Amino acid sequence: MQSAMFLTVHHDCGPMDKSAGTGPKSEEKREKMKRTLLKDWKTRLSYFLQNSSSPGKPKTGKKSKPQTFIKPSPEEAQLWAEAFDELLASKYGLAAFRAFLKSEFCEENIEFWLACEDFKKTKSQPRSTA
């Protein structure tokens, strides 16, 4: 059984309203929207992790040892919701995010981003003057 995870983000890019963006009601609305998006994302990620932990039948006819999958702790998954870097630092978080991108047909985006991060970590060689 294949699982799919969908992440939707609604962003209002309409013309600016004169009253929008100021005052306590606007701030409350923004906070409520942020909490709703985070809750929705957590729910979808939780569903994905629950369904992805049960592997399908092996593709080969050979008898093999059943694979064991260890789910990340709820605390670890909570860190993913708080910081994108935490998500990418975890092998389970990266796998979940990669599966999401694959379902959206944009897996190459994470490959490119990871390559850029690796490139940032490399030390450049000093240029010699000839």
At residue 15, the pLDDT reads: 47
Residue pointed to by tokens 């850029």:
116
Rounded to a whole number of angstroms, the CA Rg of the chain reads 21
- Extract the tokens encoding 87: 């998500």
* Residue 94 CB neighbour total at 10 angstroms: 15
At residue 64, the pLDDT reads: 53
At residue 5, the pLDDT reads: 46
Find all residues with CB under 8 Å of 93, minimum gap 6, and list them: 72, 76, 77, 80, 86, 87
Cα distance between residue 90 and residue 76, in whole Å? 8
**Percent helix, strand and coil across the chain, each rounded to 5?**
55, 0, 45
Cα distance between residue 81 and residue 87, in whole Å? 8
- Evaluate whether 5 touches 48 at the Cβ level (below 8 Å): yes
At residue 41, the pLDDT reads: 78
- Evaluate whether 98 touches 107 at the Cβ level (below 8 Å): yes
At residue 20, the pLDDT reads: 52
At residue 53, the pLDDT reads: 53
How does pLDDT run along the chain (130 residues), one tens digit per residue? 444 444 444 444 444 444 455 677 888 888 888 888 777 777 777 766 666 555 554 444 455 555 555 677 888 888 888 888 888 888 888 888 888 877 777 777 777 878 888 888 887 766 666 5
DSSP helix/strand/coil, 72:
coil
